Amino acid sequence: MRIAISIAAAALASLTLCSAALAATATHNPAAPAVDCRKAGNEVSALIDNRSGSPNLPAARAMFQVGVMECMEGDDAAANTHYEQAKAMLNDRPSPEAPPPVLAPAKN
């Protein structure tokens, strides 16, 4: 009888410890991004469509495309960083170090 009680107690203790360990790993994942990169990319894409007159639009589109490529490769954190940079570019005025646009001479 003593052996059966010992085996049952050991099984219960191991089950409790294993379930606690699994719950801890399921809830704590520091590598998981706060926002899905696809959702963030959709928001930035809509913002790019709405800000067609922004002077930083070409740079924001380039940053957005870098984010899309990183999202496709599975690096959500880097993609979200590039999406945030693209949003910031669309909300800011043009940077002073940006060269003025070059106009092609008119053909006669």
What was the pLDDT predicted at 28?
A: 45
pLDDT bucket at 84, cuts 50 / 70 / 90: very high
In percent, the amount of the chain with pLDDT more than 90 equals 26
**Tally of CA atoms within 13 A in the half-sphere of 31 that contains its CB:** 4
Sign, CA dihedral 58-63-61-49, equals negative
Per the structure block, which two tokens stand in for 21? 């360990």
Confidence bin at 82 (pLDDT 50/70/90): very high
The residue assigned the tokens 């043009």 is 94
Q: For 47-63, what is the mean pLDDT?
A: 87
